[in-house]
Amino acid sequence: MRKVVLSISVMLLSMAGFAQLNNKSTILQSGYDNGVTVLQDGFKNLSDVKQAGHGNDSDVNQDGSFNKATIVQYGKMNNATINQNGNGQIASINQECDSDDNTVVISQTASDGNDCLTCYVPDPCKTCGDDNEHGDKKDKDRDRRDDKKGHGDSHGNSHGYGSGPNVATVDQGGKHNDAEIDQDGKGNEANIDQEDTHNWAKIVQSGKDNKADIDQEGSFNKALIDQSGKDNTAFIDQDGYFNNSMITQGGEDNYARTNQSGLNQWSKITQCGKDLTASVTQRN
């Protein structure tokens, strides 16, 4: 009997050691007509999905190692998808109790990205690294740094991961909202927060250590942030109806912010170069 117990103990220890290399998936469901699909290929990937309500669908696809995906869904008829390719990606989707017919897609790819890209926009934009600011550059640098300190942590997020993992977070409430995040590179951070109805938001990031944040309240608002290069920061804040905003950044260490409130506002910011600063406020 002692030999049998010893053999079982050794086997359990071996299994425990082997389990440390495996992937981990946790699914907790309540309600009815909810569906979850998880595909993990690699080592030490972590997937955690919680669903309540009805008619919700979640998909997690992880290919690589040390990726982390979290989906929390309540309400009804919501769709959430996380695709992670590479190592060390982090993605989180939270669809709240009042969520109804919302859609979220997060796609993450860990790669070296593009530190410095040629910006395919009209002159005076040139190859990134050129300084297109005019006037007293020292004053503008100081103002931009102060502006970042004042606004950059509005969601408790830190600046600059030092080319760590890509991080994507979506928080949805309301109905018929669509959010999409596509990350390719390292150390990029993207956040989307949507409330009310029929809002659309998309963030595309390639390169390193870029930060993007979209906040939407109201209905029928559209927001797009497209970042390439490195160390760029962009914020879009929309509160109202039928507002449209787009920010495109290429190069290095650029900062852009758009604040829209009211009805039928339209804004477009395109930055290409280094140490550029732009701010738009629209209200009626």
Q: Would you kindly state where each structural domain of the chain is located, as residue ranges?
A: 24-109, 155-283
Spatial separation of the C-alpha atoms in residues 226 and 117, rounded to whole Å: 13
Residues β-bridged to residue 269: 247
CA pair distance 257, 275, nearest whole angstrom: 14
Q: Compute how many other C-beta atoms are within 10 angstroms of the C-beta atom of residue 141.
A: 14
C-alpha neighbours within 13 Å on the C-beta side of residue 122: 1
Looking at residue 143, what is its pLDDT?
43
Residue 39: Cβ within 10 Å count: 14
Please give the model's pTM, rounded to 2 decimal places: 0.76
Q: From residue 67, give the alpha-carbon distance in Å to each of 149, 171, 192, 223.
A: 30, 20, 20, 28
Is residue 242 left, alpha or beta, with left meaning phi > 0 and alpha meaning psi from -120 to 50? left
Write out pLDDT tens, residues 98-151: 778 889 999 999 865 444 333 333 333 333 333 333 334 334 443 443 444 343
Q: What are 179-229's pLDDT values in tens digits? A: 999 999 999 999 999 999 999 999 999 999 999 999 999 999 999 999 999
